[in-house]
A and B are shown apart, each in its own frame.
Chain A
Amino acid sequence: MSSRLQAEHLYKVFGRRPEKAVEQLREGSDREALRADGTTAAVIDASFTVEPGQTFVVMGLSGSGKSTLLRMLNGLLEPTAGQVLFDGQDLTALSDRELREVRSKKISMVFQHFALFPHRSVLENAAYGLEVQGVPRAERETRATDALAMCGLAGWEKSWPDELSGGMQQRVGLARALATDADLLLMDESFSALDPLIRRDMQDQLIELQKKLKKTIVFITHDLNEAMRLGDRIAVMRDGAIVQIGTAEDILVRPASDYVASFTKDVDRSRVLTADAVMDTNLRGDEADCGCETARPDSSFVDLCAISARVPHSVAVLDKTQKLVGVVPRQRLIGFLGDEQGEPRPCDAPRDKVVKAVKTGA
């Protein structure tokens, strides 16, 4: 049902003679050199693919070009160069009218500051996309009510946007985007304006909804924790260019550059890492032969720690077919948590022996 989104060598340059600037960028000029001419390269050579049903997160600091990139995906901004392929269609080749048609039916968007229409009720807001499509009133009200209920706002239809809290307003924004049954959901820093607790709620809600609806989602954020929670794949942007694309673990465990690494420093690794990333795949083969508790590849780091505390040896990781895929020694857990994956150095005054001696002596 969902469709594949593909971006190919997207460039967006603001200012005079943008085509020439793209030419210069292709030849290797950098952003600073262009800025001297008064042109701003917002997005430079961005290419990625989002598979149907995937959540693709674009992460970067403000000014890194992520919002510009997002707006090229639904044609709000026209790329200076490159193509956007969605559902087999090249969006950059469409006329304004065709593009509006695509936007009203196939792509919807959720905004950072909700962008609810203050002169329309909650229901009218949720039904807006359907109204644009020309859906008859009765049908669009049913569908909008359903979408609101899905987002946990049943019973609020008659209220006005300014009577709702921030989180509820964004639920209306989400319901408005979902009501049109668009395949592609573009979310522009949609949870950034919310307080941390509500933000978590909303993230959970999105994850729940996504399990049911399996939309293709492109999510923009500057918060790596959020990116790691939501993203099946993550693109990290810096100065208009994508510096790394990969899963949360790729980013965390195998950062492509110091820049990405410096980003991941503050990440709560225990919440991101799973057994899959931590386990040692160098196996003897008999690690699971005992009756002890085992872990699955998607067991979280926290769960792993708990199991490790309960079993006397390394934790065995079994896949769905109960086949041994790796082991996690306790040492390895501690190493990942501290981002230190080397072997422990020997101690010059081994206290363990002394303690053991004392114990045996006693």
Chain B
Amino acid sequence: MPRIPFGDWVNDTVDWLLSNMAWLFDFFKTVFEGTYDGINAVLQAPEPLLLAGIFAVIAFWLRGTSAGVLTFLGFAFIDSLELWENAMVTLSLVLVATIIALAIAVPVGIWAARSDRVSNLVRPVLDFMQTLPAMIYLIPAILFFGTGAPAGIVATMIFALAPGVRMTELGIRQVDKELVEAADAFGTTPGNTLLRIQLPLALPTVMAGVNQVIMLGLSMAAIAGMVGAGGLGGDVNEALGQLNVGLGSEAGVAIVILAIYLDRMTSSLGTQVSPLGRRSLARLRAAQGLKIWSYRPRPAVAMIGVVVLALVAGGMGVFGGTNSETTAAGSSNVGQGKKITIGYIPWDEGVASTFLWKEILEERGYQVEAKQLEAGPMYTSLAAGDIDFQTDAWLPTTHEQYWKKYGKKLEDLGSWYGPTSLELSVPSYMKGIDSLEDLKGKASEFGGKITGIESSAGMMGLLKDKVLGEYGLEKEYKVVDSSTPAMLAELKRAYAKKEPIVVTLWSPHWAYNDYKLTKLKDPKGAWGKGDDVHTVSRKGFAADNPVVGQWLKNFKMTEKQLTSLEAEINKAGDGKQPQAVKAWLKSNPGVVDKLAPVENSTGGDLAEAKRPVDVAFFPWDENVAVTYLWKNVLARRGYTLNLKQMDVGPVYTGLSTGDIDVNFDAWLPYAQANYWDKYKKNLRDLGTWYRPTSLELAVPSYVKDVKSLADLKGKADTFGGKIIGIEPGTGEMNLLKKDVLPGYGLDKEYEVVDGSTPAMLAELKRAYAKKEPIIAVLWSPHWAYSEYELTKLSDEKKLFGEGNTIRTITNKAFPGQYPQLTKWIKNFKMSEEELGTLEAEIKDRGQGNEEEAVEAWLKEHPDMVSRMTP
């Protein structure tokens, strides 16, 4: 069976749509956003109780006294739960989605009713829309429409469209054929037949469809909270994330109240608007006589009531809206009202740091919006540029897959907290279990189960693939995939009953505050080094907002600060984060100025320095080193360098189009020849700064008798037949697979394992520690050679090519735009010792601390600055 690359087709289509139809989606986005903003503004403007009164009058008119009273009570209840604003957000979302869905569904339904062919065509599409799991189009919705209301509206609309179409079609098809024929026999035009006969008679069914659209929309609104649409869905999400059953049920009840109200009102409206329904109601009323609880005012009376309340509400909105907040003034008004959107995952440290920055940036005159999202949508919207930054990126492990996917479109502004740790934990009442090793042989006690989180989470993969194996637990324990809230619920349940349980957890986590838990020690280091919590921004954010970018890059928090802030926020409760942050800032004076120092302008001494330089770099050690070195050195001369980490292909493309100014890591003339040849017309080569380089396979020196590639022949058993590779598709990997292995006759014996540079290095480290044989794909210069004793396998046939040097390449315009910089770069040279020590320094400090590493290294090499920029 051939593999049908369906997924690739979808990807290609999405890419094509993104690049070619962006104007269309932007148009829709504007329409959706405009409608939503309009309706939301109207609903948010009046005093909650006045609006509740308007809703109640509508219910009074449509259904009678008791419905009116209950409506008022229900909405007042929502208000008392302090969920009013979010409820109105959800209501606007549902209303907009419904209006748009109906604007599409009714015409399509009419069309389908009139043509069997259309009907047959539409039906499977509707099935598709209704059954496709919402998440599948929720994420693309972000790609096309960004996070927030438009994506939520689209997802809701797609989900809710089907019943509208179906019921419209059904309603029209149900109209007695003889009536349509009668209309025809009297010479009615098809349009008039539709308007005067079919639609009025189909109206009750169509209204039932409208009712369904609204109900489905409302149920979808909760899911839309995941893409930052906010509203009650956001509350539900947040509650789930924190296992806060209380808040969850409050938001849930508010949704139910909205749902019941909308359901009853639309079904009553259905009878009101259809002539037949009005007649049967009138007859019923005539038969019943006047009753208080079912008394319904005439439409005119109801209209007057609504208008009076609306006028009062509007008036209060106008006159009450004058007490706007005081804005930051003077020199601290750095932002001048500029809008910044922060995304956050409802994890405690994320909430704490986000609201801290919200407060700080608002004090500095920015307009800040904080959006709550799930991790996936968060990275998607960061990559799409809808969110400016987020403070809760767990790198390099936990969010590794997101980073891999979107890293190119993101900027890492460095870690502000760390290290964190991943671990398995047991309640402290489990005596005698302190480390992972203690779990051995205890499977029966724990029912052989480890309660995990989302199977897609990075730590789950690590646990299953590595940690359990390392401690020989994989036979005994089964890791149960579930979700974070489910894991926490399970933990809570077991803890209450004092039952044995092993859960996957991480620090910092509030569970350690709430329960007495033992983090199981990991003597073998199987979990690897802990993640740091990074601030990650969309590509170009730091360039657009150099001041904020710098603040974020310098952002650091101690454990004491973070936990005290988290505690303050938890104490204040949901919805009061700003107050909690303010209180915390009061008890921690000076934090604002430390985190967001307001400086007098840092004028550069060169005209060309005013223009920021876009530097792209590959996630390769020598490139990271040299790029951060230049960044540091040039900053001293007043330049701003925007760093973008990208893959080779995109870097060359970006350089050729002028999106990127410079890259310091061109391996030429061989390794990157294919790219160079393709784009060289639009590129400039500023010369070699490092030589010599080489690509090679390397083995640890303890593997005896393997000195050259030829020696590998017949030794496949020793190495398990594997060569540990890096990212597939890179020049070196292609060279290896296409030329080198066949050239030495090794292609049958060895399999090249595609992976990533970090994975290869991790594997090398692991094998080296155990003195196991391993073949790694490496290159020189590389810090691994200073870290481990490795043998570069000699390449007698010169199949890897030779004589590559590392050069700086720029776009065509660069030398003209930056004459001084061009001169400096052309004269720039680095020795093997310098580069090696710099790489090692950066590696030792860990990812996110490149700048400190460079700073420290420069202290050791004081002449470097003047050498580079004389």
Q: Which residues of A contact B (CB under 8 A)?
A: 74, 76, 99-105, 107-109, 111-113, 115, 117-120, 128-129, 132-133, 160, 176, 180, 186
Is A101 a contact partner of B187 (Cβ separation < 8 A)? Answer: yes
Tell me how far the C-beta of B389 lies from the nearest C-beta in chain A, rounded to whole angstroms. 59
Q: Are A180 and B186 in contact (CB under 8 A)?
A: yes
For the residues of A in contact with B, the DSSP-based class is: mixed
* Residues A132 and B178 in contact, CB atoms below 8 Å apart: no
Known interface pairs A76-B181, A115-B178, A132-B192; A160-B186 also in contact (CB < 8 Å)? no
Q: Which B residue's beta carbon lies closest to that of A173?
A: B182
Q: Contacts of B326 on A, CB cut-off 8 Å?
A: none
The residue of chain B having its C-beta at the shortest distance from the C-beta of A104 within the complex is B187
Q: How many inter-chain residue pairs (CB < 8 Å) link A and B?
A: 59
A132, B187: Cβ atoms closer than 8 Å: yes
* CB proximity of B114 to chain A, nearest CB, Å: 15
Is the pair A76, B185 in contact by a Cβ cutoff of 8 Å?
A: yes
B253-297 to A contact mask, C-beta < 8 Å, 1/0: 000000000000000000000111001000000000000000000
Query: CB distance A109 to B182 under 8 Å?
Result: yes
Q: Contact at B179–A128, with CB atoms within 8 Å?
A: no
**CB of B834 within 8 A of chain A?**
no
Cα of A76 to Cα of B276 in the assembled complex, Å: 28
Chain B residue numbers with a CB within 8 Å of A108 are 185-186
A293–chain B nearest beta-carbon distance, Å = 50
B19: interface (CB < 8 Å): no
With contacts A100-B189, A119-B275 known, what are 17 further pairs, Cβ within 8 A?
A: A74-B185, A76-B185, A100-B188, A102-B187, A103-B187, A104-B186, A104-B187, A104-B188, A111-B178, A113-B178, A115-B176, A115-B178, A115-B182, A118-B201, A119-B200, A129-B187, A132-B186
User: Among the listed B181, B275, B279, which residue makes an inter-chain contact with A111, where contact means beta carbons less than 8 Å apart?
Assistant: B181
Which of A103, A112, A115 contacts B179, CB < 8 Å?
A: A115
CB distance from B408 to the nearest CB of A (A): 59
Complex Cα gap A337–B187 (Å): 47
- CA separation between A100 and B184, bound complex, in Å? 8
- Taking a contact as CB atoms under 8 Å apart, the answer to whether A111 and B182 are in contact is yes
In the complex, the answer to whether B185 meets A160 with C-beta atoms within 8 Å is no
Task: From A105, A113, A119, A129, give the contact of B201 (CB < 8 A).
Answer: A119
Minimum CB–CB distance from A72 to chain B (whole Å) comes to 13
Nearest residue (CB) in A for B203 is: A119
Q: Which residue of B lies closest to A101 (CB)?
A: B187
Q: Distance in Å from the Cβ of B351 to the closest Cβ of chain A?
A: 56
Q: What are the residues of chain A within 8 A of B279 when measuring CB–CB?
A: 160
Q: Roughly how many angstroms separate A112 CA and B176 CA in the complex, as a whole number?
A: 13
Q: How far is the CA of A113 from the CA of B177 in the complex (A)?
A: 11
A112 to chain B: which residues have CB within 8 Å?
178
Specify which chain A residues have a CB less than 8 angstroms from the CB of B192 in the assembled complex: 132
A76-B275 in contact (CB<8A): no
The 5 closest A-B pairs by CB, nearest first: A104-B187, A115-B182, A103-B187, A119-B275, A109-B185
Give chain B's interface residue range (CB within 8 Å of chain A).
20 to 34
Instruction: Give complex CA distance A101, B187 in Å.
Output: 6
Decide: B276 and A119 in contact? CB cutoff 8 A: yes
**CA distance in complex: A109, B181 (Å):** 10
B341-360 toward A: CB 8 Å interface, digit per residue (1/0)? 00000000000000000000
By a CB distance below 8 angstroms, the chain A residues around B176 are 115
A180 contacts which chain B residues (CB < 8 A)?
A: 186
Contact A132 B201 (CB under 8 A): no
> How close is B560's CB to chain A, nearest CB, in angstroms?
74
B710 at interface by CB-CB < 8 Å: no
Proximity bits, B185-200, A CB within 8 Å = 1, else 0? 1111100100001001
Cross-chain contact A100 with B181 (CB below 8 angstroms) = no
| Chain A residues whose CB sits within 8 angstroms of the CB of B184 once the complex forms | 76, 103
* Shortest Cβ gap from B604 to chain A (Å): 77
Min C-beta distance of A194 to chain B, whole Å: 16
Which residues of chain A are near B186, meaning CB under 8 Å? 103-104, 108-109, 128-129, 132, 176, 180
Across-interface contacts of A117 in B (CB, < 8 A): 179, 182, 197, 201
Interchain Cβ contacts under 8 Å between A and B, 15 examples: A76-B184, A76-B185, A100-B188, A103-B187, A104-B188, A108-B185, A109-B186, A117-B201, A118-B276, A119-B276, A128-B186, A129-B187, A132-B187, A132-B188, A132-B192
How many Å from the CB of B662 to the closest CB on chain A? 70
Chain B: minimal CB distance from A135 (Å)? 12
* Chain B proximity of A79: nearest CB distance (Å): 16
Chain B residues whose C-beta falls within 8 Å of the C-beta of A107 in the assembled complex:
185
B185 CB contacts on chain A under 8 angstroms? 74, 76, 103, 107-109, 186
What's the least CB distance linking A158 to chain B, in Å? 12
**Assembled-state Cα–Cα distance A103/B189 (Å):** 11
Provide the residues of chain B in CB contact with A102, threshold 8 Å: 187
| B309: min CB distance to chain A, Å | 33
A132-B192, A160-B279 in contact; A115/B187 too (CB < 8 A)?
Answer: no
A128 to B274, CA, bound (A): 19
**CB-CB contacts of B565-606 with A at 8 A, as 1s and 0s?**
000000000000000000000000000000000000000000
Residues in A whose Cβ lies below 8 Å from that of B274: 119
Question: 8 Å CB contacts to A: which residues of B410-433?
Answer: none
Complex contacts, B183 vs chain A, CB 8 Å: 128
Report the bound CA distance from A320 to B274 in whole Å. Answer: 61
Q: Tell me the complex Cα distance, A257–B200, Å.
A: 50
Cα distance A284–B727 in the bound complex, in angstroms: 125
Residue of A nearest to B200 (CB): A119
The CA-CA distance from A104 to B187 in the complex, in Å, is: 4
CA distance A44 to B197 in the complex (A): 34
Closest to B186 in A: A129
Question: From residue B764, how far is it (CB to closest CB) to chain A in Å?
Answer: 74
Q: How far apart are A219's CB and chain B's nearest CB, in angstroms?
A: 15
Distance from B201 Cβ to chain A, minimum over Cβ atoms (Å): 6
Output the least CB separation between B202 and chain A (Å). Answer: 11
How far apart are B128's CB and chain A's nearest CB, in angstroms?
32
Residue among A115, A120, A176 making CB contact with B181, cutoff 8 Å: A115
B-chain residues with CB within 8 Å of residue A133 when the two chains form the complex: 187
A74 to B181, CA, bound (A): 12
A100:B182 contact, CB within 8 angstroms: no
Residues of A within 8 A of B201 (CB): 117-119
Q: Which of B187, B189, B274, B276 has the most CB of A within 10 A?
A: B187
B230, chain A: closest CB distance, angstroms: 43
Complex CA gap A102/B186 in Å reads 9
Most chain A CB within a 10 A radius of its CB, from B178, B182, B192: B182
Which chain B residues numbered 147 to 202 have a C-beta less than 8 Å away from chain A? 176, 178-179, 181-189, 192, 197, 200-201
Write out, one digit per residue, whether chain B residues 750-782 have a CB within 8 A of any chain A CB (1) or not (0). Answer: 000000000000000000000000000000000
How far does the alpha carbon of A109 sit from the alpha carbon of B188 in the complex, in Å? Answer: 13
Chain A nearest CB: distance from B197 CB in Å? 6
Contact code string B475-497 (vs A, CB < 8 Å = 1, else 0): 00000000000000000000000
In the complex, chain B residues whose CB is within 8 Å of the CB of A109: 182, 185-186
Instruction: Please report the C-alpha to C-alpha distance between residue A250 and residue B646 in the assembled complex, in whole angstroms.
Output: 99
Closest B residue, CB atoms, query A100: B187
A312–chain B nearest beta-carbon distance, Å: 57
Contact with A along B66-108 (1 / 0, CB 8 A): 0000000000000000000000000000000000000000000
Bound complex: CA of A99 vs CA of B184, how far in Å?
10
Closest to B275 in A: A119
CB closest residue in chain A, given B188? A132
Question: In whole angstroms, how far apart are the Cα atoms of A105 and B276 in the complex?
Answer: 29
Bound CA span A100–B185, Å: 8
CA distance A52 to B183 in the complex (A): 26
Determine which residue in A102, A108, A117 has the highest number of CB atoms from chain B within 10 A of its CB, and name it: A117
- Distance from B189 Cβ to chain A, minimum over Cβ atoms (Å): 6
Q: Which residues of A contact B189 (CB under 8 A)?
A: 100
Question: In the complex the two chains form, what is the Cα distance from A100 to B186 in whole Å?
Answer: 8
Report the minimum CB–CB distance from B193 to chain A (whole Å): 10
- B residues in contact with A101, CB < 8 Å: 187
Once bound together, how far apart are the Cα atoms of A129 and B187, in whole Å?
8
Chain A nearest CB, measured from B454 CB (Å): 55
Closest Cβ of chain B to A261, distance in Å, is 34
Closest to B274 in A: A119
Complex Cα–Cα for A180 and B184 (A): 15
